[in-house]
Chain A
Amino acid sequence: MISVQPVARPGAPLARRNPVAKLAAALVFSFVLIATLDPVAPAIAIAVELAVLPLFGVRYGVLARRAWPLLASAGGILVSLVLFAADRSGPVLVEAGPVVVTQGVLVTALGLVLRMLAVALPGIVVFATTDATDLADALIQNAKAPARFAIGALAAFRLVPLLEQEWRMISMARRARGVDAGRNPVVRLRLFVSTAFALLVGAIRRGTRLAVAMDARGFDAGTPRTVARRQRFTRADGLLVAGAAALAGAALTVSVVLGTFRPLIG
């Protein structure tokens, strides 16, 4: 089950910031980190991210629950890179039969995994502290996103949990008709494809009905829309973005000063 509800205390000082500002800060922070392959800059970034977490009103336990698939895959990547990466340079750290772990391979693998975590965490924090409606409002009002796109996506998003339910209903309806796959993998795949097709047909029909209902309330009227919920982009929001940029820059600077900086390109 995909959870999309915000989990933060809404009163936390940074959780209250404009959603577009939070998104921009996360993007700036992540983008800078993509530029380097070393483990130091992302490690600093993760430390910074964890340090500001209370300001977003997210408890560490909640974050861990939300990010566990990410942590699990990070662990998996680390192990497989350490064991199987082609680059075997540097002094040997562990040698057990066919398993050879060198310093070079460990540094590269750690760098990659830390980078992945550092890039993903800001996104998780943004969505954990932002209501989807507020995000759509702010995208329209502060980032000049087209309302047709932002509100349309928001409405479609609301129908996503229905798909899961629909999938179960279609599968059960097929079993009732005498259709099941048993253990045959080919039949199983065919059944999966045909169930997916039925789901798609249903989703398109439902989407069309929703679109008609939205147009019936003037969504396609062409009159300039007004906004019921005002989203403001204040100086504090600007400072949040600037702060994110400065911290990301600082992480890179430390990495350059320590001599571990390895640019992605060149």
Chain B
Amino acid sequence: MSAVVLRGFGWRHAGRRQWAVRGVDLRIEAGERVLLLGPSGAGKSTLLAALAGLLPEDSGEQEGTVEIDGLDPRKARERVGIVFQDPETQLVMARSGDDVAFGLENRGVPAEEIWPRVDEALRRVGFPYHRDRPTAALSGGEQQRLALAGALALRPGLLLLDEPTANLDPAGAALIRRAVADALDADTTLILVEHRVTEALPLVDRVVVLEPGGGVRVDGPPEAVFAAHGDALAAAGVWVPGRGLPPRHATAPPGEALLTADRLGLPPRLAHTDLQVRAGEAVAVLGPNGAGKSTLALLLGGLLRPGTGAVIAADALAGRDARTPPHRWRAPALARRIGSVFQDPEHQFVTGTVREELALGPRRTGQDETAVRATVDRLLDRLGLARLAGANPYTLSGGEARRLSVATALATAPRLLICDEPTFGQDRRTWRELVDLFAELRDAGHGLVAVTHDPDFVAALADRTLTLERADRVRTPDSEERP
């Protein structure tokens, strides 16, 4: 029931040269449901933070005005609720009910009203447990539902959702979308930021696309927006429904075996799994959160010691070292043979600039300086990072950081590449670049294993899939050709 008016709004974070968002003119009426789109770096999250009143005046420079029901958002905070991407950093309390009560306590809601409102909010989001359930015992999807309940308990007139399903598996994401659809009052205004447009469309009646340079690019009902501007938006990096990308399956049959997992497991995180990765093929590892996919990636990457079974490297991958298991290789030898790309790119950054970051691996594996420079320049160019060569890796946007983390793994030219959620949270353009890059590598005879929740990625690239079940349920790893 809250209305939003932005007039020429812009925000520049203190210490930055670029405006995070600029020149936005927008009027959102009470009760409207808006999907806010735009490629990486268009300022969607900054705009939501401004609407939530979470940009203190001294933290940057503002242009134009932003109003919620005619008020400065910093003074209209009790009208706005927001749910962020990462469940881990928005739950405050150890017990589920206490967490929902937290916001009510802060707002000074009388004690006798708190628990009825907590129970009501939990019921509306379909929270399946008693309110004493420890928050640490919840799955990611359940934690996000709890965060949603925490926002709804405050009865906001405007609900802001900043990629609330980005960290979730498809089942968890569907739960959140259902909870949003069921729990919203008819007159609650909704602004949703979400990369997965197709899934989000049933929740909204209006689409607003931000232009990275500033301003609103397109605004209107979803069908009209995508009919008139679909191609241009897709080219700019927006995920437009119904515009799939050409698949890039292997054109040649796979070559020799590189790495074999033989009854590999690490109880209780991963039960027995068999897998063989061959040169020139892309294997996608699927399964729900908690099935041990990331653990499998770490085991295959020679980063964890197997609990049961073994990881066996073929001569083609490791030469004379093939008799030792990968987790006992020295790090430079490992980096030359198996590259690992982690879910969170920032875990992998070691140095102060993008250029140094790319040079690190080749230097550690003993390349001379001329070769290092050539490798670095080629990768900077190939992954569109050349203009960022001097930037600190920690200041990159999500898409840039992901491209850099893939590039660092490629810098040592490993035969086998293992990626954990490589396309997670990427706009369509970065996504496409990654798929093209992986396809090229595969066709050049590299092996690729990708842990992923992304059905489009599987459809576009995977030659084979392995589906893991949760270790606490019955599991039958399947291995079929061509999904």
Contacts and interface: CB of A to CB of B under 8 A. Distances in A.
B46 to A, nearest CB: 12
A169 B331 contact: no
A213 B360 CA distance: 36
Given A162-B88, A228-B104, A178 B412 contact: yes
Nearest to B84: A213
Interface in B85-136: 86, 88-95, 98, 101-111, 114-115, 118, 135-136
A155 B334 CA distance: 39
B382 to A, nearest CB: 19
Given A178-B365, A214-B92, A169 B115 contact: no
B387 to A, nearest CB: 23
Contact of A194 (B77, B81, B334, B350): B350
A48 interface: no
A223 B108 contact: yes
Interface stretch (A11-19, A82-90, A204-212): A204-212
B330 interface: yes
Contacts of A154: 92-94
Contacts of B349: 198
Contact of B342 (A169, A221, A223): A169
A218 B82 contact: no
B30 interface: no
Nearest to A199: B347
A178 B107 contact: no
A164 interface: no
Contacts of B49: 212
A224 B408 CA distance: 51
Interface in B223-275: none
24 contacts: A133-B95, A133-B98, A154-B94, A158-B136, A159-B89, A161-B136, A172-B303, A172-B304, A172-B342, A173-B340, A175-B303, A176-B339, A177-B331, A177-B360, A178-B336, A179-B364, A209-B90, A212-B54, A213-B92, A214-B92, A216-B54, A217-B106, A218-B106, A226-B109
Contacts of A178: 331-332, 334-336, 360-361, 364-365, 412
Contacts of A224: 108
A223 B77 CA distance: 12
Top 10 closest pairs, chain A to chain B, by CB: A178-B335, A180-B331, A217-B103, A218-B106, A178-B364, A213-B90, A228-B101, A176-B340, A209-B89, A173-B347
A182 B330 contact: yes
A236 B233 CA distance: 69
Contacts of B21: none
Interface of A: 131-133, 151, 154-155, 158-159, 161-162, 166, 169-170, 172-180, 182, 194, 198, 201-202, 206, 209-210, 212-219, 221, 223-230
Interface string B289-311: 00000000010011110000000
Contacts of B81: 216-217
Given A154-B93, A201-B394, A228-B114, A215 B54 contact: yes
Contacts, number: 163
Given A132-B94, A210-B92, A177 B304 contact: no
Contacts of B364: 177-179
Contacts of A133: 93-95, 98
Nearest to B366: A178
Interface string B317-347: 0000000000000111011101110101011
A198 B348 CA distance: 9
A175 B92 contact: no
Contact of B92 (A151, A161, A173, A206): A151
A225 B92 contact: no
Nearest to B409: A176
Contacts of B154: 217-218
Contacts of B25: none
Nearest to B394: A201
A226 B114 contact: yes
A262 to B, nearest CB: 44
A225 B108 contact: yes
A131 B134 CA distance: 12
Nearest to A169: B347
A212 B365 CA distance: 42
A219 B332 CA distance: 48
A221 B95 contact: no
Contact of A218 (B77, B338, B360, B408): B77
Nearest to B331: A180
B103 A218 contact: yes
Given A180-B332, A213-B92, A228-B114, 4 more contacts: A177-B331, A179-B360, A226-B108, A226-B114
Given A155-B92, A177-B361, A226 B78 contact: no
A129 to B, nearest CB: 16
Contacts of B344: 169
A114 B49 CA distance: 56
Among B54, B84, B336, B348, max chain A CB count under 10 A is at B348
Contacts of B102: 151, 214, 217, 219
A221 B77 contact: yes
B354 interface: no
B350 A209 contact: no
A181 B118 CA distance: 51
A212 B54 CA distance: 7
Contacts of B151: 217
B105 A176 contact: no
Contacts of B141: none
Contacts of A166: 347
Given A176-B303, A177-B348, A218-B77, A210 B89 contact: yes
Contacts of B86: 209
A35 B151 CA distance: 52
Contact of B106 (A175, A180, A223): A223
B282 interface: no
Contacts of A229: 98, 101
Nearest to B361: A178
A172 B348 CA distance: 9
